[in-house]
Chain A
Amino acid sequence: MTGPTAQAPTAPGRTDSLLSIREVVKRFGARPVLRNISLEVASGEFLTILGESGSGKTTLLRLIAGFEQSDGGEIWIGGERLDSIPPHRRPVNTVFQSYALFPHLNVFDNIAYGLRSKNTAKAEIPDRVAQALTKVKMSEFAKSPPARLSGGQQQRVALARALVNRPRVLLLDEPLSALDANLRRQMQTELKALQREVGITFIFVTHDQEEAMALSDRIALLRSGFLEQIAEPREIYGQPASAYVAQFIGQTNLLRAQIRNGLAQAGPLKWRTAETSSQVTFSLRPECIRLVPTGTPPAQPADDSIARFAARVLNQTFGGAMDTLELDYGSSQTLRARIASPGTLSGQHEFAFRASDAIPVRGEDSA
């Protein structure tokens, strides 16, 4: 791999950049965990750090919080370098994966903990805590010990406990991963609404790409310590930088094509491309493949903006609005297509995709 192609939209030095991570390196013993990570986070942004377990995403979060020391690089918040500042003096707060509520304190005292640490005026504390409790809809639980609360309720208290301090950046370490699917979706919606309301910069760590897409202004995808891509959800889905990104964010077909005279060819598939190198990997999303109705006149031979091909339906999985098809198009690999309720298909059919939907990506072989 020739290094991350971090197309940070906010250039260094831009006024709305709040958090700046510059060439940060972290090793655990001899094992590199973060390799030269640079990214800028804008004020009020919802940034998701996405990656598999072991990608270094939690380590990056812990570096920002101050629980780990980096082995190189710099972390800045609003013109202040954080690296040598201990965690309790950093203008950030964390929502922990397991909530980490203090078991010996009730909900009120848990939320007041940060205010008391910072010597907030005594008279101010009850109001601030009450506001925070209202924000997360937990007002009636102020006197409860955390052990009496459900997972979702503990989650809300953990959020309130962090937000009440009005941090410049809120760090969230897989905060929803312990919740069941329904509650999780509900909390996603609330979290996003809350972030818009308070206007605080959120840095959210998750391994769930759907969650990342639903919540984020931008997604930073980490892979074994490298920043693979940082972009808005639509861009990272539509224009994945690498085969890895294309496969990690949603599902895709990877086509290894030979390029000759502005034409890409992968087995029997041919389409127009602007790529010039001789061999390029393309990502083709399953939903970009459509079924050509029988009786459609054959394509113009000169029209290479659309690739039309015949394929045999190997497998059809009913999925409600969209069915997933596995297609044998006369190559060693099969294509996955997602098509709106086509009825039951079998045997040979004609399919097509637009040349512009085949996105050239940095392939694994060039890595």
Chain B
Amino acid sequence: MYTRSYKSAVTIPPLLWVTAFLLIPYALLFCYSFWSVSPQQTIVHSWNLQNYIQLIRNPIYLSVLFRSIRIAAAVTLLALLLGYPLAYFLSFHAPKRKDLLYQLVIIPLWASYLVRGYAWKTILGSDGVLNGLLQYLHITHHPVEFFLYSPFAVVLTLTHIYTPFTFLPVYASLEHVPRNLVEASHDLGASPWSTFRRVILPLSLPGVLAGATFAFVLTLGDFLAPLLVGGASGIMISNIVVSLFGAAYNWPLGAAISLCMLLLVMALLFATERLERKLTLS
């Protein structure tokens, strides 16, 4: 149907793109992770496992990695707890203002990530809006310090930023639940709650899975929120990678951490994709 020249015209540009901007950088990353830095701050191109051994030996890296995973899990859970009810309400109970409400969920995505990060800084800081309100209401007498520069602040900010990413796939999957199945469930004597639990929730699981994957993977790789609102106790693994590639000038170690993260995320995506396929097939 399509000519050879047409086929190559549409396949070659993306292939070039992927090669130049994904495959070659990954290959370089892979190489760097097995090299090392000399005391004179030059890259030594001799193959060794030093970086990986350091990763396991030095407790800093693993503890920050586990903290990142905990933060990502918390954000995922919160984003689902916020995004799912919102998507459910919008899909099943707000037929008249559906489009407007949908837009309201999407609009925050238009605002710059930095703006939203700074907004939380303004809200949570010791002179911030939240502390001002609490003191005005005489709930506290001194500014609460732990609001800002804590893992709590990171979780809060990232939940705010990634909830729409969870909402969208959940909403799409809820919109695809045939409404006559809901009626059939009621018809067969199931209460609204039972219908939700036995029909709507199982049929929306692929969307939940996709949304959870988005929130988890995006949070795990985030370094801006910890930078803006995390403080020392809110450092995440990507911040370490950033500093290793920057000020610390230890590209090989940074590459090793990046590669580990990459493998972790790929394993996760692989697992969720298989799970999702299983859910959709049954």
Contact = CB atoms under 8 A, between A and B. Distances in A.
Contacts of B41: none
Interface string A112-136: 0110011000000000000000000
B246 interface: no
A126 B188 CA distance: 17
Contacts of A96: 180, 183-184
A58 to B, nearest CB: 12
Interface residues of A, number: 25
Contacts of B178: 100
A165 B184 CA distance: 13
A1 to B, nearest CB: 33
Contacts of B189: 88-89, 114, 117-118, 165
A113 B181 CA distance: 12
A117 B184 CA distance: 12
Contacts of A161: 188
Contacts of A93: 187-188
Interface string A84-107: 001111001110101011111000
A189 to B, nearest CB: 26
A94 B181 CA distance: 12
A67 interface: yes
B146 to A, nearest CB: 44
Interface string B185-221: 1111111101100110011000000000000000000
Interface residues of B, number: 20
A65 interface: yes
B46 interface: no
A98 B188 contact: no
Interface string B146-185: 0000000000000000000000000000000010110111
A145 interface: yes
Nearest to A111: B188
Contacts, number: 66
B191 A94 contact: no
Contact of B186 (A87, A101, A102, A162): A87
Contacts of A162: 187-188
Contacts of A67: 183, 186-187
A98 B185 CA distance: 14
Given A93-B188, A161-B188, A100 B183 contact: yes
B187 A94 contact: yes
Q: Is the interface of B mostly helix, strand, loop or mixed?
A: helix
Interface string B227-264: 00000000000000000000000000000000000000
B8 interface: no
Give the one of A67, A92, A117 with max B CB within 10 A.
A117
Nearest to B205: A104
A103 B203 contact: yes
Contacts of B184: 94, 96, 100-102
Given A94-B183, A118-B189, 11 more contacts: A86-B186, A87-B183, A88-B185, A88-B187, A96-B183, A98-B180, A100-B184, A103-B203, A104-B202, A117-B189, A145-B282
Going nearest first, the 3 A-B pairs with the smallest beta carbon separation are: A114-B188, A117-B189, A100-B184
Interface of A: 65-67, 86-89, 92-94, 96, 98, 100-104, 113-114, 117-118, 145, 161-162, 165
26 contacts: A87-B186, A87-B187, A88-B187, A92-B187, A93-B188, A94-B183, A94-B187, A96-B180, A98-B180, A100-B178, A100-B181, A102-B185, A102-B199, A103-B203, A104-B202, A104-B203, A104-B282, A113-B188, A114-B188, A114-B189, A117-B185, A117-B194, A145-B282, A162-B187, A165-B188, A165-B189
